[in-house]
Amino acid sequence: MRFIELYRSIMQGVWNIGFVENTLDEVIGGEPLKIRWLNHNCKDRWFADPFILDVTDDKIYVLVEEYYYPHKRGRLAMLTIDKASNSLLKVDTILELDSHLSFPAIIRRGDKILVYPENFKGGGLKLYELDLEKPALVKGKPISDALLTDAVYTELFGKKQIYSTEMPTPNGSTLGVYEVNEAGIYTKVKEYHFPENIARNAGDWFEYKGKIYRPAQECNVEYGHAISFQQVEESSEGLVFKELWRKSSPHPTMKVAFHTFNMYKGVMVVDCRGYRYRVPAGIINFFRRLFL
């Protein structure tokens, strides 16, 4: 038992976010990504699942999963980042529960900012309002009883829909479609099945130059191993997903996973995962490859 605990401790992951310097046309075209990774000195936490809240002349505001080591679970935070230096200026925790929180996806309704984070361990999907004065997520209300994982809300196809994978197979090949009923709850109405584990969302779906795109997670190797960038087309039988490219982490040392792509106001953000204890984890992986 102690050996297993030691192994898990050594193999702990650590995430960071970064900003893409390519143009969107270059990204869609599959050009190598040029990324400026966030500079910060936080040793007791890491940041992942970035969604851009706002961009000003000198700052970028990002909602993230903030994994705080002492609590051993994710919570949600708003990061204030200096645009010129790419340095973290401030961390505001905006929601913390007894259960793990991640993927703080955003819906904009006029002046209102609504957030529907992943919280399947809390029993379903809830919609919160962002109070920027506090700052905090408030007025949480249930919008789905399903245990959704990295859900994405969209109106790109003319109706209110959520696309998501679901427990107990969040990293699998089935993407569910959920539509709202009279009670305001989203329930499953359709499924799409992929030939491999690329169903899980990696960020918001978006339209550009008349075409719809979906960032997805390739989970064949492990959770969030790479980004599968897909074009989505409508047909008489439903949606058709065409993968344009697939990329693993371009970070020089954090190569384990690469699983989020989002953008807002011309700024694109991604994340990557490495090992918290890189040297001992590397030694373990060397011997695993040697003998397994």
* Predicted confidence (pLDDT) per residue in 171-225, tens digit: 999 999 999 999 999 999 999 999 999 999 999 999 999 999 999 999 999 999 9
Average pLDDT along the chain: 93
CATH of domain 15-286: 2.115.10.20
pLDDT, tens only, 75-124:
999 999 999 999 999 999 999 999 999 999 999 999 999 999 999 999 99
Q: What is the residue extent of each domain of the chain?
A: 15-286
The Cα 289–Cα 212 span in angstroms is 40
pLDDT at 9 over 90: no
Candidate from 4-13, 45-54, 227-236 with smallest mean pLDDT? 4-13
At 169 the pLDDT is: 97
pLDDT tier, 287 (very low <50, low <70, confident <90, very high otherwise): low
Q: Which residues pair with 17 in a beta bridge?
A: 271
Residue by residue, DSSP assigns 178-240 as: EEE-TTS-EEEEEEEE-SSS--SB-S--EEETTEEEEEEEE-SSSTT-EEEEEEEEEETTEEE
Interval 49-62 mean pLDDT: 98
Question: CB-based contacts of 39: which residues, under 8 Å, 6+ apart?
Answer: 85, 86, 87, 88
- Band (pLDDT 50/70/90 cuts) for residue 275 is confident
Give the C-alpha separation, 253 to 65, whole Å: 21
Check whether 132 has a pLDDT greater than 70.
Answer: yes
And the tokens for 2? 């102690």
Q: Could you tell me what percent of the chain has a pLDDT over 70?
A: 90
Is the pLDDT at 59 greater than 60, yes or no? yes
pLDDT band of 6, cuts 50, 70, 90: low
Instruction: Kindly report, residue by residue over 14-40, the tens digit of the pLDDT.
Output: 999 999 999 999 999 999 999 999 999
Q: Residue 13's pLDDT is what?
A: 74
Q: Are strands 136-144 and 148-154 parallel, antiparallel or unpaired?
A: unpaired
Provide the pLDDT for residue 7.
46
- Cα 86 to its chain centre, rounded Å, is 20
Nearest to 218 by CA among 208, 234, 232, 230: 230
Q: Give yes or no for residue 280 having a pLDDT over 70.
A: no
pTM: 0.93
How much is the pLDDT for 10?
A: 57
